[in-house]
Amino acid sequence: MALPVAFFAVFFAWPVAAIVARGLDVDGGWRFGRLWDVLTEPGIRHVLWFTTWQALASTGLTLLLALPAAYVLGRFAFPGRQLLRAVVTVPFVLPTVVAGTAFLALLGRGGLLDELWGVRLDTTVWAILLAHVFFNYAVVVRTVGGLWAQLDPRQEEAARMLGASPLQAWRRVTLPALAPAVAAAALMVFLFTFTSFGVVQILGGPRFSTLEVEIYRQTSEIFDLSTAAVLTLIQFAAVGAILAVHAWTVRRRETALRLVDPAVTARRPRGAGQWALLAGVLGTVAVLILLPLAVLVQRSLDAPGFAYYEALTRADGGTFLVPPIEAIGNSLEYALAATAIAVVVGALAAAALTRRDAGRFVRGFDALLMLPLGVSAVTVGFGFLIALDEPPLDLRASWILVPLAQALVGVPFVVRTMLPVLRAVDVRLREAAAVLGASPWRVWREVDLPMVRRALLVAAGFAFAVSLGEFGATVFIARPDNPTLPVAVARLLGRPGDLNYGQAMALSTILMVVCAVALLVLERLRTDRTGEF
Amino acid sequence: MSITKQAAIVAVGLGLVALSACGSSDGDRASGGDTRTVTLVSHNSWAVSKDVLAAFEKQSGYQVRVLEDGDAGQAVNKAILTKDNPQGDVFFGVDNTLLSRALDNDLFQPYEPKGSDRVLPEYRADGDEHRVTPVDTGDICVNYDKAYFSEHRLAPPDSLDDLIKPAYKDLLVTENPATSSPGLGFLLGTAAQYGDDGWTGYWKKLKANGVKVVDGWEQAYNEEFSGSAGGRKAGADRPLVVSYASSPPAEVIYADPRPETAPTGVAEGTCFRQVEYAGLLSNARNPEGGKALLDFMLTRTFQDDMPLNMFVYPVTGDARIPEEFAQYGPQAKDPRTMDPAKIAANRDDWVKSWTSLVLK
């Protein structure tokens, strides 16, 4: 317990507190009056309103489009199911700069929709909503689908035997079992879209601004730290509330459901209705997820031969001191380090959270660990600058800063994956082993480890994929000689010229493939109780 | 599951931890008491040829470490935040739109590098205090897509006044001055030309003439502008974009095969001049190394090397302009400029008024 708490305090709480304090503390006096000033600014009120309603709309739309897919992936057996699960998860780990570019190519001028029907959605709110669905589709599919696959169909059958109609059986048996999972997924999507940054910046145009974008602007462009501090506090409060509700639904979900092996429940689709549903889901995935990804691939190949890919292997001395291709190696190194940190911290936290004598405080810590997901990277980054500037913790120029920041985002995923599995380990097994004279270490080794091994691997894989695509923290890489993939893409897009644009597309494609492969490997390692974000 | 397998997994886990704990590449150590290393803090457009930098290291005996701290505005803000305990010795990349913010916050200490006398007078700033040194300059100008204008038999615009004529309706895309430095430069250019009160009237007309605004340069240039490589692929339909005078040369240099002429041109009467400065940070740990680095930035070697790396113009009178620049992206003859103090005094208000005028 001590390590996760220390990690969280030093690398998250302290930097954030430092930067917020810097913003509110002017000439030795705390200016809480600023709170009121900022809140009553019409511009800020507009931002708050937009942030909230677009998150609600995005969440609704995501549920609408992803729930059928959750059912199909949870309950149907068909060839390519694993591939499909991996494919829908790719967007979730893609850097927003890449996805934003793909969506512009699709919805913007001269994009596919424009060519087919003359429809242009960029700089409309629709572009933002669709991109949010693209990113968060996997959250719903994995969270709800994972549980759906494991619900014992015999319970519904028993209800039918007792005379319930199919609808009644579903409403009385399946729905209550699924509801907490749906709620948890919805809250997660709401959290991600409420704090959306890259999507809104790239696709929304200047007329739309979320709280997160506004914090970034106030900190980095206008340099009004006190306004930024107030906005950070507001976002904190909102995110805290969302997480509190989320934690509550998660606990409700961990009530004793009878779960079975997903392999038992999956059947081939039967009847026209089920086949139509499957076709519909595949169609949605094709349009919503494969199409934007395909646009990137197509543009990366839009030169004779593999010219863009070849260009990646040359250093031009300008933007890059090293060939851009080296960014792949850098990214993998950072991601490995971040994964190691996240797995150690996350697993320890999860272990502490499952102890039966865990008090209220510890359970609260569970939700706290999720906070980094909802705090803007720019706040944490600027906080790092002023908080971690004294030896032995002067990490400002150190490469370790990046994996640390990425691990902050990875830890919640590790905890989410480990927790249900650890909680499902029957306490009596441990007690029996202890009674028979096993040391605590041996109990853990003989009882827990075999059960959580796969969960650990899945958690590690997730943390790995998340850090590969993570862009916010990598902005602090102050080392031009080792850019990561997303940073390299952003740099290439930031320069005029055909070769630069093409290389950006080629690197994005490579990143996508790396993520997809990592996720496919994960699919092979599915645990018995996954799917809790 | 066998014990060996378990052991293997534990070992891999421990190995990962070890890997993350060590493996720090050389040069990562903060240059606490190390006077052989000089650290340059910059924004992410910093670029120099390897051999040029190596030559400086050899001749001066200092190792150069470069830290890139985000875009120009972000890098300046970070430097101000950490000025009591700076991350480096020299800061490069504060431009005339941000200069006052840096100076008012005492970011720099005075130092006049060797060779300052060769800097052309129009680029000098900060009078006799010498807290900053001009390093490079560039013009923010409207670029036009040559193909579009020859196809439509229309003369490309050449001045800010042209942009509000009906002939150019719905053709221009620009950036949000709140989030983009070319966008801000363009706004300041209009304020310099039409005066403190006149620019709002101009923007009303520009809005009526269908100007499109996006957040960042990347999107404006790569997605909306029909003359750029990305724009051509995206079928973009805005043949006018606010970019840099050095963008057309880049379109030539980064095309394979190289075209005979640049696909884009510069509307020379629309330019606003940007100058980038460097300075010795107030609490630099290695001031001597910092001074040597600043001297180096004004040498001919560096000034000659800079243009094709950063797509900017040199500031010293004796530097050589690359042929591609002279041919495809000549410097504007009479760009707009504005006093940094005036920019600092008005910038936030102007951006606010611009936002409610153009975006609402």
Write out pLDDT tens, residues B125-147.
Answer: 888 889 999 999 999 999 999 99
Query: A199 is written with which tokens?
Result: 């999507």
Mutation target among A212, A396, A401, A500 for the B interface, most CBs of B within 10 A = A396
Where does the pLDDT of residue A30 fall: very low under 50, low under 70, confident under 90, or very high at 90 and above?
Answer: low
| Domains of chain A with CATH codes | 1-27+305-533 (1.10.3720.10), 41-300 (1.10.3720.10)
| Whole-prediction pTM | 0.81
Check pLDDT > 70 for residue A346. yes
In angstroms, the CA A69 to CA A280 distance is 9
Query: A527 is written with which tokens?
Result: 């645990």
Nearest chain A CA: its distance from B359 CA (Å)? 6
The 3-state DSSP composition of chain A as helix, strand, coil percent (nearest 5) reads: 75, 0, 25
The phi, psi pair for A426, rounded to 5°, reads: -70, 125
Where does the pLDDT of residue A477 fall: very low under 50, low under 70, confident under 90, or very high at 90 and above?
Answer: low
Residues B176, A206: C-beta atoms closer than 8 Å: yes
- Which tops the pLDDT comparison, B283 or B13? B283
Nearest to B233 by CA among A512, A7, A102, A447: A102
- B133-145 and B264-281: which strand pairing? antiparallel
Check pLDDT > 50 for residue A472. yes
Mutation target among A501, A505, A525 for the B interface, most CBs of B within 10 A = A501
pLDDT score, position B303? 96
Chain A residues with CB under 8 Å of B102 CB are: none
- CA A217-A62-A283 angle, to 5 degrees, is 125
Residues B17, A340: C-beta atoms closer than 8 Å: yes
A positions 288-327 inside 8 Å of B (CB): 299, 302-303, 307, 311, 317-319, 321
Per the listing, tokens 């590449």 go with B25
Chain A residues with CB under 8 Å of B250 CB are: 495-497
pLDDT score, position A48? 92
Q: Please give the distance of CA A513 from its chain centroid, rounded to a whole number.
A: 18
A385-389, A447-451, B21-25, B88-92: segment of lowest average pLDDT: B21-25
Residue A58 near residue A136 (C-beta atoms within 8 A): yes
A325: burial class by Cβ within 10 Å (0-12, 13-18, 19+)? buried
Check pLDDT > 60 for residue B3. no
Check pLDDT > 90 for residue A391. no
Mutation target among A493, A505, A527 for the B interface, most CBs of B within 10 A = A493
The DSSP symbol for B115 reads T
B24-68 tens-digit pLDDT: 333 344 444 567 999 999 987 888 888 999 999 999 999 999 888
B321: burial class by Cβ within 10 Å (0-12, 13-18, 19+)? middle
Run of H or E including B289: helix B287-297
Q: Which residue in chain B is spatially nearest to A337 when comparing CA positions?
A: B20
Chain A residues with CB under 8 Å of B309 CB are: 317-318
A139-184 tens-digit pLDDT: 899 888 877 887 778 888 888 898 888 888 888 888 888 888 888 8
Per the listing, tokens 């080794």 go with A445
Query: A515 is written with which tokens?
Result: 């993520």
Where does the pLDDT of residue A515 fall: very low under 50, low under 70, confident under 90, or very high at 90 and above?
Answer: confident
A392 preceded by a cis bond (ω within 30 of 0):
yes
Residue A135 near residue A92 (C-beta atoms within 8 A): yes
Where does the pLDDT of residue A98 fall: very low under 50, low under 70, confident under 90, or very high at 90 and above?
Answer: confident
SS (H, E, C) A348-397: HHHHHHHCCCCCHHHHHHHHHCCHHHHCCHHHHHHHHHHHCCCCCCCCCC
| Domains of chain B with CATH codes | 3-137+275-326 (3.40.190.10), 139-273+332-359 (3.40.190.10)
Out of B20, B39, B81, the one facing A385 most closely (by C-beta) is: B81
Check pLDDT > 60 for residue B21. no
A426: burial class by Cβ within 10 Å (0-12, 13-18, 19+)? exposed
pLDDT score, position A122? 66
A454 touching B (Cβ < 8 Å)? no
Q: Which residue in chain B is spatially nearest to A394 when comparing CA positions?
A: B30
Torsion angle of the four alpha carbons A313, A314, A316, A319, in this order, in degrees rounded to the nearest 10: 10
Count of C-beta atoms within a 10 Å radius of residue A80? 9
A281-290, A326-335, B170-179, B289-298: segment of lowest average pLDDT: A326-335
pLDDT score, position B320? 92
In angstroms, the CA B59 to CA A137 distance is 57
Residue A419 near residue A354 (C-beta atoms within 8 A): yes
In angstroms, the CA A477 to CA B335 distance is 35
Instruction: Name the 3-class secondary structure at A303.
Output: coil
* Average pLDDT for chain A: 81
pLDDT score, position A532? 43
